[in-house]
Structure 1
Amino acid sequence: MAHRPRLVLRPRRGRPQRLAGRGRRVRPRAGPGRRRRQPGAPAVAAEVAGKAGALGFCLGGSLAYGLAAVSDPDAVVSFYGSTVPDQLDLLDRISCPLQFHFGGQDPYIPRDAVAKVEAAVAGRANIEIHVQEQAGHAFHNHVAPMFHNPEAAAAAWRLATTFLTTHLR
């Protein structure tokens, strides 16, 4: 099962906000007997059985990392999450297996910021970090030739699928 949150809220005059195209209400406050859920957070379906993980690219990589800090997924893969270097304090809250991917030539996440992540995760048995030194940002984006790096994408994808297969079986 996959869930792709829709993060754009479109308010309607005089009506509660709904997640675009989904029809689920976004309630600003939790009342008695109601659980509070962040907009865009995946709902857990009762019919889902087995292990569950998260994988995200760019903003999704940051969201997957944040999910690992506030929830207990079975595994998380974060591809070039741009807010990760500024949120290293979340690492102490993460107990699940976590894999990071960055590009060494990323103009949006400079190499020195990636080095801070490398230093912060060193010695943590549940966390891996992989840097495709020759790649920039969004190197896995095959529909954007200006970003796509086929060799880096293939190498990172092999690592990610092996990681997910190991932890989600």
Structure 2
Amino acid sequence: AKNPVSNITKKQLQDIYTGKIRNWKQLGGPDMPIHLISKEEGRSTLDLFIKYIDAEVEERQGKMFYRIKGSKNWSPVGAEIIGPNSMAIVRVSEEVGAIGYVSIGAAERAERKLGKIKRLKLNGVEASRENVRNKTYPIIRPLNVITNGKPQGIIKEFIDYLMSRPGQNIVKNLDYIPLR
């Protein structure tokens, strides 16, 4: 949270994870190496992130390496692999110079509890629930409930409850952004 960098562009984020930018000084911050934190394979946050920065990943020797989709050049430095959001947040809060990505809800909760992390603006847009709702934040994804055919019986009751005010409060309490 002490890092003065408060905004990065999509291109800078891509360059950070593909190894073209390796020091915060290149972004106007302190002369300090950037420590990459990556989500592990199978995490939807990783899928969303690599789609946004137009990259692909490969795990080697316990590290995650990134490259621009279609490029032959992998990042020269591998990212530390973390699973759950909570672990990524702990690593970013402990490691000076670290950068990682987690859901906005998890980041907000961590800021309230730990106060040691900082959400960077992306292309000048703050990572906030409001900006996800109004679709100005560039990295978002919907979560869907799917059924086999038209929902009936207990399945319909569950979906109706999920969409009700109490159901949407549960969604919010789980750090997701409710529809209402």
Q: TM-score range by the shorter chain?
A: under 0.3
Q: TM-score, normalised by structure 1?
A: 0.25
Q: TM-score, normalised by structure 2?
A: 0.23
Query: Relative contact order (alpha carbons < 8 A, sep ≥ 6): 1 or 2 greater?
Result: 2
